A = this chain, B = another copy of it.
């Protein structure tokens, strides 16, 4: 993870792209890439198997979402791993295991 962050920063800086990377445009980019990831599943049924071609497409798209996520966190001083641990802490309280077991309410599904 640390290696990846450094590599992305280096990639960005050797191309002088830091000047384009304001937080809002990075958030726009995450949404755009998330939609490209979603597009892989467009018109495919939920149970359709993930073959090698689909998996390759997914690998390419999750990488894009993740890269922009790391770059946004770098730009805004957020520790992504730490922030996610804290969110799980909160979700463990919001959705107690006993009462949430197998419940399908959309808002209870992370």
Tell me the A residues contacting B by CB distance below 8 Å.
Answer: 1, 4, 7-8, 11, 14-17, 19-20, 22-25, 27-48, 50, 55, 58-60, 62-69, 72-73, 76-78, 80-81, 83-88, 91-92, 95, 97, 100-104, 106, 109-110
Interchain nearest-CB distance for A16 vs B (Å) = 4
Chain B residues closer than 8 Å to A83, beta-carbon distance: 59-60, 62-63, 66
Contacting pair B58 A76 (CB below 8 A) = yes
Q: How far is the CA of A87 from the CA of B68 in the complex (A)?
A: 12
The 8 Å CB contact of A37, one of B30, B48, B50, B104, is B30
Given A58-B76, A78-B59, A41 contacting B64 (CB threshold 8 A)? no
Chain B residues closer than 8 Å to A38, beta-carbon distance: 27-28, 30-32
